[in-house]
Amino acid sequence: MDNDVMRFELDDRASTEEASLYVRANFRDKLHQVSGLGKVADHLWALYHYMTDPSVHWSKKAVVVSALLYFIVPMDAVPDFVPIAGFLDDIGVISLTVRYVGRQLRPYYLDNTGIRT
């Protein structure tokens, strides 16, 4: 595990961009490791596309980046290697983030053809 991830403080634009680069580099691999998440995967993809949109304010991105980092980093409140429970806390964080971002997230969901709706 990269210990530098644990030192991210997303209190300004520069550190948010640094953490965003880490998420971009590791998101797809992590999502592939946990295939079969169903609707949660849809939320994760929407959050990822929201994070990569240059028009989104950095303070909103900081919240989304934090949630995606929590999903990617295996050592969190309940480590991912713990069967079932290891991803329940990740799903909780993702759900809260989706609720926080709310309607702003709608344009970032993909339809079944891979095109944003």
Interval 49-95: pLDDT, tens: 999 999 999 889 999 999 999 888 877 777 767 777 777 888 899 99
Tell me which residue range forms the domain holding 71.
Answer: 11-108
In a domain, 80, yes or no: yes
Query: What span, in angstroms and rounded, lies between the C-alpha atoms of 49 and 29?
Result: 16
The one-character DSSP state at 109 is -
Other residues' Cβ atoms within 10 Å of the Cβ of residue 111: 8
What pTM was estimated for this model as a whole?
Answer: 0.78
Query: What span, in angstroms and rounded, lies between the C-alpha atoms of 82 and 60?
Result: 30
E strand or H helix at 48: helix 39-52
Give the number of domains in the chain. 1
In a domain, 45, yes or no: yes
